[in-house]
Amino acid sequence: MKLALLQMNMKLSKPDENYVIAERLIHHAMEKKPDVLVLPECWNTGFFPKHNLRNLSCDDGDAVKLRIGNLANQYGVNIIAGSVSNIRDDKVYNTAFIFNRNGECIAEYDKTHLFTPMDEDKYYTRGDHLCRFILDGIQCGLIICYDLRFPELVRKLALQGLDVLFVVAEWPKIRTFHLHTLTAARAIENQIFVACCNSCGTAENIVYGGHSIIVNPFGETLALAGETEEILFAECNMQLLTQVRNTIPVFRDRRPELY
């Protein structure tokens, strides 16, 4: 599975411009024919315009399904359409949309853990379900940004069957070390590939760190981005999953009766 992470410098409160940026990056990424394209967190609005969030949000993912879904179908590529600020049932969610090669939306996920230090919980509604789906026969899951700090969430996905975890994020530069450490930890402890697509640039007074990363089940870095807008590519060899799981059978050796 060849991945392309679109490390995007989105514009705060400017969804029209952000769609143009996302579409441009998708067009460029397809020159190398990846199997999966990944956008970052809240790429339509940036994270996040408090004063007019509702006016800038999607309406039940309408624009994402139309514009990004059509591109998935046009190119015959799977797209993890990051997450967007999204209104559903008169509530605002931080919602991710996943499209298959036919442009069909096969999964949606509302961010479970909202980042209270930035008052995300005061503007968005928490999600109530986890997210697993299949792309090209491969078991995949998705989490959003702050979710990465909650290992029990990813372990539950892994216990249900998981080969690749996608993390879409808008993680600040000041905590890049945390981002990479937690990404590697989730990969090692769950014996999966983890692809973390972060944003870059500045929104208000916060600098977002870029440094998107793709990690294999041994915790080794397959590809690492810099701090500016770029497209990060890596090939994930699924045969490696069998090797690492046979070498260190952590799921066989678990003691769930104690925890």
Q: What is the pLDDT of residue 229?
A: 98
- Residue from 2, 24, 9, 6 nearest 231 by CA: 6
Mean pLDDT (whole number) for 202-214: 95
- Model pLDDT for residues 141-159, shown as the tens digit of each residue: 999 999 999 999 999 999 9
What beta strand segments (E) does 61-162 contain? 78-88, 91-99, 105-110, 132-135, 138-144
Q: What is the pLDDT of residue 234?
A: 98
**Degrees to nearest 5, angle at CA 28 with 144 and 80:** 25
Q: Is 10 exposed, middle or buried (0-12, 13-18, 19+ CB in 10 A)?
A: buried
Q: What is the pLDDT of residue 55?
A: 96
Q: Could you give the domains of the chain?
A: 2-245 (3.60.110.10)
- Model pLDDT for residues 26-44, shown as the tens digit of each residue: 999 999 999 999 999 999 9
- Residue from 136, 158, 133 nearest 3 by CA: 136
Band (138; pLDDT cuts 50, 70, 90) = very high
Mean pLDDT (whole number) for 229-251: 97
Mean pLDDT (whole number) for 210-225: 98
Is 204's pLDDT higher than 90?
no
Do residues 127 and 109 touch, judged by C-beta distance below 8 A? yes
Q: What is the pLDDT of residue 98?
A: 98
Q: What is the pLDDT of residue 254?
A: 97
Q: What is the pLDDT of residue 224?
A: 98
143: helix, strand or coil: strand
Task: At 71, list the tokens.
Answer: 């591109």
- Model pLDDT for residues 41-88, shown as the tens digit of each residue: 999 999 999 999 999 999 999 999 999 999 999 999 999 999 999 999
Mean pLDDT (whole number) for 14-26: 98
- Residue from 39, 66, 65, 52 nearest 12 by CA: 52
- Model pLDDT for residues 81-112, shown as the tens digit of each residue: 999 999 999 999 999 999 999 999 999 999 99
Q: Are strands 36-38 and 78-88 parallel, antiparallel or unpaired?
A: parallel
- DSSP single-letter state for residue 126: P
Q: List residues with catalytic annotation.
A: 41, 111, 145
